[in-house]
Structure 1
Amino acid sequence: MPARIVEGRTLVPVRYISEALGASVNWLPETRSVEIVK
Protein backbone atom coordinates (compact mmCIF):
# COMPACT_ATOMS: atom_id res chain seq x y z
CA MET A 1 0.00 0.00 0.00
CA PRO A 2 1.53 3.34 -0.99
CA ALA A 3 1.62 6.43 1.23
CA ARG A 4 -1.40 8.72 0.96
CA ILE A 5 -2.13 12.33 1.83
CA VAL A 6 -5.42 12.72 3.70
CA GLU A 7 -6.58 16.11 4.95
CA GLY A 8 -3.05 17.50 4.73
CA ARG A 9 -1.45 14.57 6.60
CA THR A 10 0.82 11.94 5.10
CA LEU A 11 -0.25 8.40 6.02
CA VAL A 12 2.25 5.58 5.57
CA PRO A 13 1.86 1.81 6.07
CA VAL A 14 3.56 1.47 9.47
CA ARG A 15 3.69 -2.34 9.49
CA TYR A 16 5.35 -2.50 6.06
CA ILE A 17 7.98 0.12 6.91
CA SER A 18 8.67 -1.27 10.39
CA GLU A 19 9.08 -4.86 9.22
CA ALA A 20 11.28 -3.73 6.32
CA LEU A 21 13.57 -2.15 8.95
CA GLY A 22 13.67 -5.39 10.95
CA ALA A 23 11.19 -4.46 13.68
CA SER A 24 8.16 -6.42 14.84
CA VAL A 25 4.71 -4.87 15.06
CA ASN A 26 2.22 -5.94 17.72
CA TRP A 27 -1.39 -4.87 18.30
CA LEU A 28 -2.27 -4.31 21.98
CA PRO A 29 -6.05 -4.66 22.25
CA GLU A 30 -6.22 -3.56 25.91
CA THR A 31 -5.01 -0.07 25.02
CA ARG A 32 -5.95 -0.16 21.34
CA SER A 33 -2.41 0.78 20.40
CA VAL A 34 0.47 -0.54 18.32
CA GLU A 35 3.85 -1.53 19.71
CA ILE A 36 6.88 -1.47 17.40
CA VAL A 37 9.97 -3.25 18.74
CA LYS A 38 13.37 -3.57 17.09
Structure 2
Amino acid sequence: ANLADDVTLKILYCGICHSDLHTTRNEWGNTIYPIVPG
Protein backbone atom coordinates (compact mmCIF):
# COMPACT_ATOMS: atom_id res chain seq x y z
CA ALA A 1 0.00 0.00 0.00
CA ASN A 2 1.25 3.46 -0.86
CA LEU A 3 1.59 6.16 1.75
CA ALA A 4 0.44 9.75 1.16
CA ASP A 5 3.75 10.89 -0.41
CA ASP A 6 4.43 7.68 -2.39
CA VAL A 7 4.08 7.29 -6.13
CA THR A 8 3.68 4.16 -8.22
CA LEU A 9 5.67 3.82 -11.42
CA LYS A 10 4.87 1.41 -14.21
CA ILE A 11 8.07 0.32 -15.93
CA LEU A 12 7.44 -0.28 -19.61
CA TYR A 13 11.01 -0.87 -20.78
CA CYS A 14 14.46 -1.26 -19.32
CA GLY A 15 17.92 -1.79 -20.70
CA ILE A 16 21.28 -3.06 -19.59
CA CYS A 17 24.74 -2.28 -20.87
CA HIS A 18 26.47 -5.29 -22.40
CA SER A 19 29.50 -4.53 -20.21
CA ASP A 20 27.28 -5.04 -17.15
CA LEU A 21 26.45 -8.54 -18.39
CA HIS A 22 30.15 -9.37 -18.71
CA THR A 23 30.76 -8.02 -15.21
CA THR A 24 27.92 -9.90 -13.51
CA ARG A 25 28.98 -13.14 -15.22
CA ASN A 26 32.61 -12.52 -14.17
CA GLU A 27 33.71 -12.96 -17.77
CA TRP A 28 36.65 -10.61 -17.25
CA GLY A 29 37.73 -12.40 -14.06
CA ASN A 30 37.78 -9.40 -11.72
CA THR A 31 34.25 -9.34 -10.26
CA ILE A 32 33.88 -9.32 -6.49
CA TYR A 33 30.41 -10.38 -5.33
CA PRO A 34 27.96 -9.06 -4.28
CA ILE A 35 27.94 -6.54 -7.12
CA VAL A 36 25.65 -3.75 -8.29
CA PRO A 37 26.54 -3.16 -11.94
CA GLY A 38 25.90 0.05 -13.77
TM-score bucket of the superposed structures, by smaller chain: under 0.3
Kindly name which structure, 1 or 2, has the bigger radius of gyration based on alpha carbons. Answer: 2
The normalised TM-score by structure 1 is 0.27
Bigger strand share: 1
The normalised TM-score by structure 2 is 0.27
Higher relative contact order (CA closer than 8 Å, sequence separation 6+): 2
